[in-house]
Chain A
Amino acid sequence: MSLEETLPITLTVNGERVARSAPVRQHLVDFLRMELGLTGSHIGCEHGICGACSVRVDGAVIRGCLMLAVQADGADVVTIEGLTESEEIADLQQKFVERNALQCGYCTPGMLMTAAELLKQGGPATRDDIRTFMSGNYCRCTGYHAIVDAIETTLNARMRR
């Protein structure tokens, strides 16, 4: 067996500069979880179907399992930890609690990352628009009704502001 090939990378994660050496075959979420201990981003399917690993790279939500860590060299990465700390989606997180928009919580970080992009774009959005936008994130516990409720009420509240 050949040795594990690694590459040095420097990136910004949740506002902090990080320099590490990463195995070239390691995907971004494994790097975030195992190297940096940021376990808020979850690993579900590891082939881009479930959305549990969603993170923000250079301002856009992406599948963390479908990008190699070495590709994030020079990138600005924001995970659910960073999004929580900045309070960018504090209102959305509050609505998730109020509406019981989670059960086991496994999909929740990914749901919030994707919904954050919709909120960033701004309204208006119908319930169908929200469902379409969120269609790449799976919830296997509760269904999507309460999740759509939480996003819709947050979107409407922000539009009134």
Chain B
Amino acid sequence: MKAPRFSYVRAESLAQVLGLLAEHGDDARILAGGQSLVPVLNMRLSQPKLLIDINRIAALKGIAVQGDVVRIGALTRHVEVMNSQIVARRLPLIAEAMPHVAHVAVRNRGTFGGSIALADPSAEMPACILALGASLVVESTRGRRVIAADDFFLGLYETAREPDELLVEVLIPAQKPDHVSVFMELSRRHGDFAIAGLACYARFHEQMVQEARLVYFGSETKPTLAAGAMRAITGKPWSQASREAACAALADDLDPIDNTFGSPATKLHLQRVLTQRALDKANERATERATERATVQ
């Protein structure tokens, strides 16, 4: 179908965007990559009065290292994140997840910040930044504030961003050398919406899980930190007993959505399968890294 009528402003500065957001709030939508907004307009599921196109605001683009933190501008396109050497070296979890983000043509246009601000339940980037403990910087005419990823995702397409605020950048702590990460997802076709998925950031020592952050997405209404499963495996060797304990705890941690991709029971099963595969892989990566270190010394 064709999009309904709306007004359109091609913003030339951040101040202009914030002014328009202050004036129009929820009646306006930010047009970044448009890879989720334009389909919704074309299907007439949303009828905003005003689109604020932020694509010309260079200050919102780019990837930079600031000490132990990687700063990714909200308007940075997925393809730029995917090809970034900074991301490959310092944020391997995001590098591993990026090929799963839709398809080539969508990654060429879609933005890192747009995916996070929209908070689609099957999106990869919200899960990754939650696993890595990132912070989100939002701005409005009222000022600038920083929101921890743990506090940002509130529900289905619901975030802590206020209607007059713009997500301007994401601050992601570089992955620590003693940590490993694993990203896995299941979808019907490569690049399609994930049915179940997991972002894992963990520290192992001689097969023992010292720390682990497990974030589940696809099956849930929002990226979900599995506190119970994390507790169940931490401080123990990664073993059959831990596999079973993690799977048991997931029954309480997760509350899968019932939709055409499968029943809650199916999705819980798939997340359990992914949990075991991902932690096996994490353990393997940790062991490899320990071996490399021993060889160097």
Residues of A within 8 A of B103 (CB): 51, 135-137
| Contact A5:B42 (CB < 8 A) given known A62-B109, A67-B109, A135-B190 | no
Residues of A within 8 A of B38 (CB): 27, 47-48, 65-68
In the complex, whether B104 has a CB less than 8 A from a CB of chain A is yes
B interface residue count range (under 10 / 10 to 19 / 20 to 34 / 35 or more):
20 to 34
| Contact A136:B105 (CB < 8 A) given known A48-B39, A71-B55 | yes
User: Nearest A residue to B191 by beta-carbon distance?
Assistant: A135
The residue in B4, B55, B99, B103 that gathers the most chain A C-beta atoms within 10 A of its C-beta is: B103
The residue in B1, B8, B55, B102 that gathers the most chain A C-beta atoms within 10 A of its C-beta is: B8
* A107 CB, nearest partner CB in chain B, Å: 13
In the complex, whether A19 has a CB less than 8 A from a CB of chain B is no
Residues of A within 8 A of B293 (CB): none
User: Nearest A residue to B99 by beta-carbon distance?
Assistant: A132
Residues of B within 8 A of A114 (CB): 104-105
A70 lies within 8 A of B8 (CB): yes
B3 lies within 8 A of A25 (CB): yes
Residues of A within 8 A of B5 (CB): 1-2, 4-5, 25
A68 lies within 8 A of B8 (CB): yes
B2 lies within 8 A of A25 (CB): yes
A-contact 0/1 string along B1-43, CB 8 Å cutoff: 1111111101000000000000000000001001100110111
User: Nearest A residue to B102 by beta-carbon distance?
Assistant: A136
B104 lies within 8 A of A63 (CB): no
Residues of B within 8 A of A136 (CB): 102-106, 191
In the complex, whether B142 has a CB less than 8 A from a CB of chain A is no
**How many Å lie between the Cα of A54 and that of B105 in the bound state?**
8
* B263 CB, nearest partner CB in chain A, Å: 24
Residues of A within 8 A of B7 (CB): 5, 24
User: Nearest B residue to A70 by beta-carbon distance?
Assistant: B8
A25 lies within 8 A of B34 (CB): no
In the complex, whether B79 has a CB less than 8 A from a CB of chain A is yes
A70 lies within 8 A of B191 (CB): no
B108 lies within 8 A of A61 (CB): yes
Q: Residues of A at under 8 Å CB distance from B?
A: 1-2, 4-5, 7, 24-27, 30, 46-48, 51, 54, 60-63, 65-68, 70-71, 73, 114, 117, 131-133, 135-137
Q: Can you name 13 A-B residue pairings with CB atoms under 8 Å?
A: A1-B5, A5-B8, A24-B7, A24-B8, A30-B2, A51-B103, A60-B108, A61-B104, A61-B105, A71-B53, A71-B55, A136-B104, A136-B105
